[in-house]
Every structure is written in C-alpha cells, then in structure tokens.
C-alpha cells in the first residue's frame, strides 16, 4: 500500500512540475516526492517538520483548515505566511472518497508573478487524488473491519473464549499480529469509532458497563474473575485503539496521535451529553472537532491511558487493563493527564487494579464527606509529602500550627493515629482510591 501511495504522489509531482506530499486527514505524512530544488524556500519550516517528524502541529493544522480545505472539492490556493513558518504559498488538493475527506496532497505554489499549474494539469492531478482517496478509504475500512475481532478480545473474559478471540484477531491482522503493539483507552467516548487513527492496527468502541460478573459488556479492570468492569466506575463507553509500533521508542511519537483524539471525544461529549450512552453522532472528527482544545477536553473529563507495549496478542487483554487504569488515573489526578502512561501513574497502578467499586472503609468514611473536603485535602497533601509538616504547610499555603490543628481533626474523625505507619498507609490508600470514583 505504501508503494501505491508513493507512485501516485510521484505522478502528481510529474503532472504539476513540483514536489508533492501526501498527508492523511489528521495531517500525518504518508508519502512525499523528491526535493531536488536549490531554492531555499522550497523547504520552509512547516514542510521540513512535516517530513522529518511525519506530522504537523495542531497550530499548523488549524491554520490550514481555516482556508476551508476540509470542505473543498477542488484545489485550494493558500498564500504564504512567513510569520507562521510558511514561506511559500501552497496548493492543496483535497483527497476525497464519496464526499468524505480522506487526506490532502500538498504542493508548493509558484512565487507571485510566475505562472502556476494550469487548469488542465490541476484537473489531471485531482483525478489522481481521487485514486488516492479510494486507497485511503479501503485502508480505513480494513482497519474498521477489525473492530469486531478487537472488541471480542477486550470483552471475552478469561479462559478459552479469550484464547479464541485472540486467535481470531491474530488471523485478521496477518503478518503484523505478532509485532509490537500498545493498547490505548480514551474515555468517555460517545458515538462511533473514528474512521481511522494514525498508526492504529484496530479501533473499536467498548460499550458502557451493563452489570458485573461474567457476560457483561465491559472489559475487566481488576484481578477478579468477572469481565464486567467498564472503563471507569461510572460505566462510561471508551474508545479502544491498538497502536502498531516499530520499537518501544516509537511509543512517544504515537502519543501525539492519541492526544489528537481527545478534542474529538470532547466535541462529541459537549454536543451529545444527553445521549452519550445512546450512540449520538459519530465522533469521527469533522471540521468542528478542531475547535475543541486539549484543555477543553480535560475540563470535560476526557482522558486517555496508554499501556506498556507488548509483543504478541496474548498479552493484549492485560495491556487493555493497564490502559483503562491509566485513563482512570488521569481523570483522578490531573497532573498525570490528559494522556497518562501506565508506567508513569505510580500508586494508581495498584489502586486501579483493585475492585472497580472501591471499598468504603469505615475509618475514612466521615472524612470523605463534602463537609470535610478541606480536611481530606490537608491529609492527602501531608501524606504526599511523606509526613513532613514543613513541606505540607508550604504546599497548602497555611501556617504549620494550622496544619497541626487540621491533622488533629483528621485523627478525631477517622480514629487513626498518623504517627503509625499502617494507619498512614490505610488513610493514604483510601484518599487516593476515592479519586478514582
């Protein structure tokens, strides 16, 4: 498939007499023509970054989409903007299939005053772009066709059912089935799965939890025998993504593709909040999705978790549990998110692997009521600071005597002795576990 794209990009370059690049609709580089020009302007910062990193920044994407390329059905000329790193104007050929944009072919426009490609050449190039659109749509459909097999692996539970589901997904993935993969959980995710995710081998939506124990719709998040715990205790639906990786080092750039999913989820969440569990509109990322920032996504509670990479599909169910736990941790502790890696969530690795419904410990019950929110925060910061009163008081912005008074109230409410290690451990676990709800 990669060779087909390269041949078609080279064909467009020959038709228009200029090097072309092909990006998917998420502005991720697929193929590019040879650059043999001595003109320094032929490789401005935006084009250089696109080729070297194989993707464009969110700001560049928003700037170009502001010219209506996602809605255009013919070539779009975009003027130079040196302040944005675009030293030479662009010609964008939208790549569409059945009216849906699949990607973009980019060419450098001629400098002002010089003749550019004529209408006949542009028409011929658009015909090639249509052929590219067919390939991109077929590739996206092939990925979407794996959603059933991928979902089966995540919801089959333990035992022979899971073994059969893993075997079916391995057959569907073909030669790439035994390669390196990372599981990703994005939650909440109202609506349908996106048509494509850069670098993904498979994508599916895991439905909201309908119960607990064997046979439930959601994947397990703990170590129990049931398969019914949803992506979080609220039972929100989640988007599951199976990322292909060339090496463990490739996980870092893959996180950029994960981050771009959050505004899509936030857009759907904000628009379809009343029907989040009933399907709603597809969260496939149209022109409106780019208006939602990562900060907005975080504010709406949209988070993502990324598991440690695994080689082979037998470990995929455990990797999914890691991804779910990391997404829950990102929601519980904003400093970990909005995209949290399992390896970086610290104590939440253990807490999130416990039962989906946290134990309501009697010692911490009163402290965790709304009336005692400030005392609970004081206790958590004190324990986070390893019981060092000076650090805790500074972190809270209070006098040390005020800290001691509050800690005394915490001991009265809980019956715990904060000079005892096990009592501290119990309270710290209860406070962190409460965040996961």
pLDDT tens for 252-301 read: 777 777 887 887 777 655 543 333 333 333 333 333 333 445 555 656 67
Mean pLDDT for the stretch of residues 182-207: 85
pLDDT at 47: 55
357 is a domain residue:
no
pLDDT band at 361 (very low <50, low <70, confident <90, very high): confident
What's the Cα-to-Cα distance from 347 to each of 133, 424, 436, rounded to whole Å? 46, 14, 12
End position of a domain, from candidates 140, 173, 202: 140
- Specify if 285 maps to a domain: yes
Strands (E) located in 109-220: 180-187, 200-206
Same structural domain, 261 and 150: yes
Helix (H, G, I), strand (E, B) or coil at 68: coil
What is d(CA 276, CA 220) in angstroms, rounded to the nearest whole number?
Answer: 21
User: Is residue 371 one of the residues assigned to a domain?
Assistant: yes
Task: Give the pLDDT band (50/70/90) at residue 401.
Answer: very high
Range(s) of the domain holding residue 83? 2-140
8 A C-beta contact, residue 383 and residue 428? yes
- Give the CATH number for residue 395: 1.10.10.2840
Chain centroid, CA 68 distance in Å: 25
Q: What are phi and psi of 358, to 5 degrees?
A: -65, 150
Position with higher pLDDT, 212 vs 302 = 302
Residues 328, 252, single domain; the answer is yes
Pair (307, 430) in one structural domain: no
Which run of H or E residues covers position 154? helix 147-155
Q: What is the mean pLDDT of residues 406-424?
A: 92
Domain count, the chain: 3
Average pLDDT of 235-239?
Answer: 82
Residues 151 and 20 in one domain: no
CA gap 266, 278 in Å, rounded: 16
Query: Largest Cα–Cα distance of the chain, in whole Å?
Result: 83
pLDDT beyond 50 at 414: yes
| pLDDT(165) > 60 | yes
Mean pLDDT across 156-175: 84
**Over the range 147-185, which residues count as b (16 or more CB within 10 Å of their CB) and which as e?**
bebbbbbbbbbeeeebeebbebbbebbeeebeebbbbbb
Cβ–Cβ < 8 Å for 225, 256: no
Cβ–Cβ < 8 Å for 290, 284: no
pLDDT at residue 236, as a whole number: 78
Task: Tell me which of 311 and 82 has the higher pLDDT.
Answer: 311
pLDDT tens by residue, 14-48: 999 888 999 988 788 888 776 555 554 455 555 55
> Do the Cβ atoms of 204 and 191 come closer than 8 Å?
no
Q: Are residues 221 and 280 in the same domain?
A: yes
Mean pLDDT of all residues in 302-319:
90
């Amino acid at each position: 498939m990669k060779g087909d794209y390269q041949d078609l990009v080279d064909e467009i370059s020959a038709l228009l007499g200029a090097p072309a690049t092909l990006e998917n609709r998420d502005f991720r580089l697929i193929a590019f023509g040879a650059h043999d020009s001595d003109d320094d302007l032929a490789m401005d910062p935006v084009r250089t970054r696109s080729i070297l990193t194989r993707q464009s920044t969110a700001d560049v994407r928003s700037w170009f989409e502001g010219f209506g390329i996602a809605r255009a059905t013919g070539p779009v000329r975009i003027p130079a903007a040196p302040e944005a790193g675009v030293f030479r104007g662009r010609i964008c050929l939208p790549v569409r299939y059945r009216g849906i944009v699949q990607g973009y072919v980019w060419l450098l426009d001629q400098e002002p005053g010089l003749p550019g490609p004529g209408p006949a050449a542009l028409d011929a190039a658009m015909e090639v772009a249509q052929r590219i659109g067919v390939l991109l749509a077929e590739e996206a459909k092939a990925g979407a066709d794996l959603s059933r097999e991928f979902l089966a692996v995540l919801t089959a539970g333990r035992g022979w059912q899971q073994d059969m589901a893993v075997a079916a997904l391995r057959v569907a993935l073909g030669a790439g089935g035994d390669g390196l993969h990372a599981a990703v959980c994005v939650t909440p995710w109202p609506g349908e799965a996106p048509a494509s995710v850069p670098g993904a081998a498979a994508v599916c939506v895991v439905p909201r939890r309908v119960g607990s124990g064997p046979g439930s719709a959601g994947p397990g998040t703990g170590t129990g025998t049931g398969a019914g715990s949803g992506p979080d205790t609220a039972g929100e639906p989640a988007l599951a993504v199976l990322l292909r990786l060339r090496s463990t080092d490739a996980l870092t750039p893959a996180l950029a593709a994960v981050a771009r999913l959050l505004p899509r989820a936030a857009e759907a969440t904000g628009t379809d909040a009343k029907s989040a569990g009933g399907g709603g509109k597809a969260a496939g990322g149209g022109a409106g999705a780019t208006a939602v920032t990562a900060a907005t996504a975080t504010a709406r509670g949209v988070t993502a978790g990324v598991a440690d990479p695994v080689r082979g599909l037998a470990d995929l169910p455990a990797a999914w549990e890691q991804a779910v736990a990391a997404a829950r941790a990102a929601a519980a502790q904003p400093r970990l998110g909005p995209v949290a890696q399992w390896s970086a969530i610290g104590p939440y690795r253990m807490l999130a692997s416990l039962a989906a419904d946290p134990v309501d410990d009697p010692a911490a019950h009163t402290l965790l009521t709304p009336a005692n929110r400030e005392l609970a925060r004081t206790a958590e910061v004190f324990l986070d600071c390893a019981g060092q009163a000076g650090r805790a008081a500074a972190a809270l912005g209070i006098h040390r005597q005020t800290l001691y008074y509050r800690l005394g109230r915490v001991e009265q409410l809980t019956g715990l002795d904060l000079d005892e290690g096990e009592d501290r451990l119990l309270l710290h676990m209860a406070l962190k576990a409460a965040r996961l709800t």
